[in-house]
Chain A
């Protein structure tokens, strides 16, 4: 497929995939107030990358495993009665620090740390694209399968139990999906900014949505616009792609919220 030979086409396709997978998950991150949980999972990925390179394994697998480990550790410490805020603060930053230290031992190997921290979307190869879209499809399938049960346990644990749903099982599916989104999004947006792509489109979509499904759909559209627009801008302005995408998403967020405020003020008077 020759049209995939253009790095810009590959970049757009990779970005679109990540934006679409991030949308339903980002909604749950917003509804369940998991922003810091997402951060911890994403930061653990740096350690995953460093270890994967040290043992010459697939980076995708390294990120997936470490992100999952982190998620499991956070949940089990939280259940043991540690304050969640503290657990996340300790684990997220430790994982990032250990990741950076381990990476510094690997100076012999070509390691573009900046690329993993902030994304290197223009270096997405055909194989990367395949891996990303497989991950995206898997996440979307998981979300579609568990959607109602997850939504019910997000609304109320007791309503979930009463309906025969085990909220802990649903939480587990959510965690797996989150780790997968982190793994596919590393190349596109970078470990430090992944949570932004989860939260900002969802928070923007909230203004216009009347149902949870609408919110997921609108946030996918907003994410896609931010990715495609951000890539164009990054290309024109010669800025790093990941941060430019997030900047554009933030600007859309600010404009829509300002618009809502102005509208409310005008109608209010």
Chain B
């Protein structure tokens, strides 16, 4: 039983077709990464899945009682709005202190509960967003370029946290990223998007695909290989290179 089944999805903004004939599914415990150039409709696809954008044609069916946690691209908290991490995690629905502490620990920011949101660093902020997404005990985590604005070690650390969370909680992960080399190796399946689905499959398979290379050039393939190589080493060596 798939968590999400999408068939023949079309999304148009005015006359401009942003997504054309998208069919895909998300199975339990799967990590799926959507890659694609700017303007390829990655964010639109995720926002359509969470219900923020109405689609013109097609079917999106969710498994019964599906709980998903959503980590947005970036979030700007106005300095005029005082809010602690704890209060932020209790929106829009009340969460108990125990649940909040749990999710903060899972996201790797266990001691941040009483901080003001506007005082957090970029990396801490994204982890708090992750903690918020974990609160409902989700079957599926949806992440939209969650590491935008983080430096490379920062985003690598963030994705390791995601892997850890998936391992511990057993949820599926659907994410969008432009940082192919960081993300792809950790994915079970990669979907290459450019308005339509160009190709999909295991990371290595996609990296070899001519459609993928036409979009990203063969340079990224080198980066992917580099990452797979680095994966066996400690993270300090990662940064040194």
Contacts and interface: CB of A to CB of B under 8 A. Distances in A.
Interface of A: 30-31, 33, 148-149, 151-152, 154-165, 203, 206, 209-215
Interface of A is mostly: helix
Interface stretch (B5-13, B46-54, B155-163, B180-188): B46-54
A184 B223 CA distance: 64
Interface size class of B (residues with CB under 8 A): 20 to 34
Contacts, number: 69
B47 A161 contact: yes
Nearest to A212: B83
Contact of A210 (B68, B77, B84): B84
Nearest to B50: A162
Interface-central residue, A162, A163, A211, by most chain B CB under 10 Å: A162
B227 interface: no
Contacts of B68: 162
Contact of B70 (A30, A159, A203): A159
Interface-central residue, B51, B68, B93, by most chain A CB under 10 Å: B51
A164 B68 CA distance: 11
Contacts of A215: 81-82
A31 B81 contact: yes
Given A31-B78, A149-B92, A210-B116, A156 B83 contact: no
B70 A162 contact: yes
A152 B92 contact: yes
Nearest to A31: B81
B91 A155 contact: yes
Contacts of A148: 91-93
B78 A209 contact: no
Contact of B82 (A33, A164, A211): A211
Interface in B112-142: 116, 132, 142
Given A163-B93, A215-B81, 14 more contacts: A30-B80, A31-B78, A148-B91, A148-B93, A149-B92, A155-B88, A155-B91, A158-B47, A158-B144, A159-B75, A161-B51, A162-B142, A209-B82, A212-B83
A156 B78 CA distance: 11
Given A148-B93, A155-B75, A211-B87, A162 B52 contact: yes
Q: Which 5 A-B pairs have CB atoms at the shortest separation, nearest pair first?
A: A161-B52, A162-B70, A148-B92, A152-B92, A209-B82
A260 to B, nearest CB: 14
A211 B80 contact: no
Nearest to B46: A158
Interface string B59-71: 0000000001010
B81 A214 contact: no
B72 interface: yes
Contacts of A162: 50-52, 68, 70, 72, 142
A161 B82 contact: no
Contacts of A209: 82
A154 B52 CA distance: 15
8 contacts: A148-B92, A155-B75, A162-B70, A165-B92, A211-B83, A211-B84, A212-B81, A214-B82
A132 B41 CA distance: 50
Nearest to A161: B52
Interface-central residue, B75, B77, B82, B142, by most chain A CB under 10 Å: B82
A159 B46 CA distance: 12
Nearest to A151: B91
